[in-house]
Each structure stands twice: as structure tokens, then as C-alpha cells.
Chain A
Amino acid sequence: MTTTTASDTTGVRPRGTGSRTTFWLGSAGLAGVVVLILLGFFAAPADDDQADAVRMIFIHVPVAMLTYVAFSITAVGSVLWLWKRSVWWDTVALSAAEVGVMFCGLTLFTGSIWGRPTWGTYWDWGDVRLVTTMILFLIMVGYLAVRSLDGDSATLATRAAVIGIIGAVNIPIVNRSVTWWSSRRTLHQKSSLTDGNLEDLTLFTMMFGLAVFSTLMLWMMIHRFRISWLERQVSEGNLSEALIARRAEAMVAVETGRVGGTALPELGRQPGKAEIDEVEDSK
């Protein structure tokens, strides 16, 4: 199995957005999930305080950390779109935003599920990290909403890029909230990772979970990037066809004397005879 490249123009149609790289990434991710379940449920020890509820840490913390990563990538892509007008980076930003919103939603969900047995509640509006994470989630949902609007794609990309950068500003606030607002009544504890109070196998399993979810996130981002690439190709193809048809119509109008002067298209190539005939036939 090999992959096509930009220079491979043999005309053999691909079956989807997969490639050898994504095949191996996906396989590694799936195998990793199986191992993570075994480690998380059967190998890692229960906690003295939280008992088995601590096993939520193996998905909640990796997913939360990767939310930061995804939205940081969106911010970098947004800056490079605004600065260089790089379509490639704009597409990367969009891909990371979509995957990041999913991870952020899962962070909120798993946090709530974990909070019920440990804090006695699913949600507390007084907890700064919960609220700032929700704000981050809503900002990035707004990013995706802007991208899904009808209109000029460059304008929408520019507006979304501003939102993406605003969202990224919120990331350090979310991350440091447990320290900055430590004097407030807050449910979240300070970072278990930096406090060094995790047992060896618990810490290993959590880091393994981070590796597994990183692999899955990379797989999803590559596929999402390629979907955006294809959508752009389809969009440009439709626009190109419309332009050719319009030029052909204009040419026919001039040749048949329906339009005076030389109001012929200034854009690109002239329509061919076949295209003119096609327009004539359609009338």
C-alpha cells in the first residue's frame, strides 16, 4: 500500500481521505485504547480517598490537555492566516478547532461525571475552572459557527481567526485558574501531575492515556484537514465551471449579435467551441 502525492497524476481515484500514515496511526490508536482500558480498569490501583472513581483521571486529564493543544494549534493557524493569508494554516486551524471542540465537550462531560462521586455535584458555578472551560467551549463553538456560515470564505476565515485567537487567550486562564483563584471556594484541586502525589502506575497509565488520545487526535486532524482540502477543491471546481459557462454565454451573445461592442470576458481562457455549442444546445 502506497500513497499518492501531489506529483502523482495517474488518474487513479482514491477511495477516501486515508493514507498509509493514517492507517498506522489509527491502528496504533485502536490498540492503545484496548491497552488503556486494561491498564485503567484492572492494573492501576484504586485511590485511598476516591476509590475507583479515580479511574476517570485516565481519560479526563488527557482529553483536557489535548483540548489546550488543539485550540493552541487553532490560534497559531489563525495568526498565520491573518498574517500570511496561508490557506494551509487556515485549514489546519479549522481542523484543530473541530477536534478541539469535541475534546473540550468531553472534558466538561467527563469532569461532571467524575465530580458527582467525588464532589457530590455534577456542576458548580462557583468553580472557576469549570466556568472558564465552559466559556472556552462556547467561544470555539462560535468559531465553528462562523466557519459554517454562507459567504465569502476568506472573510469568514478572517472573522473566525479573530475568535480563535480570543479563545486561545482563555487557555492559560483555564489552566492557571486553580492557582490564581485558590483563595476562592473552588472544587478543583491543584494539578495532581505537578504535585507529585500520583502513584507510579497511576501516573504511567495517565501518561499512556495522553499518548493514546494524542494519536487519535492526530489521526482525526489529518482526516479533517483532508476533508477541508476536498471541500475547497469542490468549491473551486464549481466556481470554475460557473465562470466558463458565463464566458461561453457572453461569447455566444456577441457572436449572435445580441450584445454589441466587445464585452468579452477579461478573465482567463476563452471558452472552447464545445462549450459554446453546449450553451447553444441548452437554449
Chain B
Amino acid sequence: MTHLGYLLVGWGVTLGVIGLYSVNLIRRGRDLIGQVPADRSRWMTTEADEK
């Protein structure tokens, strides 16, 4: 395969950035959820829901 280095960098950075941003979103959400009363946390899955 030609240009493999360019392809790996391009695809790797794109998927890596999206992955890191996604993890960051999840972490920010989990940090914030503890500061908000449950009845104001609309739309979100509860611990009981996951059991």
C-alpha cells in the first residue's frame, strides 16, 4: 500500500481526537451530575436503570 504513513497519521489523528473528545464529554458529564439534584437531570440514565 502506498502512502501508508500519511494514511495512518490522518486516520489515526482523526479517530483519536474524536475518541478523546468523547471520553472527555463523558467525564465532564459524570463530574457535573453529582452537583445537580436528580429531578433536574433530565433525559439521563440512572444507576437503577442500568441494573
Contact = CB atoms under 8 A, between A and B. Distances in A.
Interface of A: 1-6, 8-20, 23, 26, 33, 37, 40-41, 46, 51-53, 55-56, 59-60, 63, 102, 105-106, 109-110, 113-114, 116-117, 216, 219-220, 223-224, 226-227, 229-231, 233-234, 237
B36 A3 contact: no
A230 B33 contact: yes
B2 to A, nearest CB: 4
8 contacts: A1-B45, A3-B49, A8-B39, A13-B34, A37-B11, A53-B7, A56-B7, A113-B9
A16 B44 contact: yes
Contacts of A56: 6-7, 10-11
Interface of B: 1-4, 6-7, 9-11, 13-15, 17-18, 21-22, 25-26, 28-30, 32-50
Given A4-B42, A19-B43, A55-B7, A227 B14 contact: no
Q: Is the interface of A mostly helix, strand, loop or mixed?
A: helix
A52 B45 contact: no
A11 B47 CA distance: 11
A5 B45 CA distance: 9
Contacts of A11: 38-39
Contacts of B14: 59, 63, 106, 109-110
A1 B45 CA distance: 8
